[in-house]
Amino acid sequence: MDTPPHALLERMLQQRIVLQLKDGRVLAGRLLGGDEHMNLVLDEVEEKTNEVERRLGRVVLRGSNVVSLQAPSGVAARGP
């Protein structure tokens, strides 16, 4: 049985994740929360583009902008 997306998000809470966005930007930050639409709240966010790298702090991100989500530790996405 597959794990629902919201259950995976719960396992990743307080962990550092990396997001690829539709516009090509990459955001890395600590996941504070999310909802059923994959809207996310991240803290300590760093944004990377081809030209610039900058710190954004706390960000609320609309789920429809996310192309992929990675938990670098790999532990969060595994089942119990």
Q: Between 26 and 49, where is the model more confident?
A: 26
How large is the average pLDDT for residues 2-23?
87
Write down the pLDDT at residue 49: 86
Contacts for 73 with CB less than 8 Å, ≥ 6 apart: 15, 16
Domain CATH code at residue 33: 2.30.30.100
Domain hosting residue 22, numbered range: 5-65
pLDDT, averaged across the chain: 86
Contacts of residue 42, Cβ cutoff 8 Å, sequence gap at least 6: 17, 19, 27, 29, 30, 31, 32, 58, 59, 61
In this prediction the pTM is 0.82
| 79 falls within a domain | no
Question: What is the number of domains present in the chain?
Answer: 1
Q: Is residue 50 part of a domain?
A: yes
Locate all alpha helices (DSSP H) within 1-80, ordered by sequence: 5-12
- The whole-number average pLDDT for the span 12-19 is 93
Residue 54 lies in a domain: yes
What would the pLDDT profile of 31-66 be if each residue is shown by its tens digit? 999 988 899 999 999 999 888 899 999 999 999 999
Assigned domain for 43 exists: yes
Sign of the Cα pseudo-torsion (6, 58, 26, 71, in order): negative
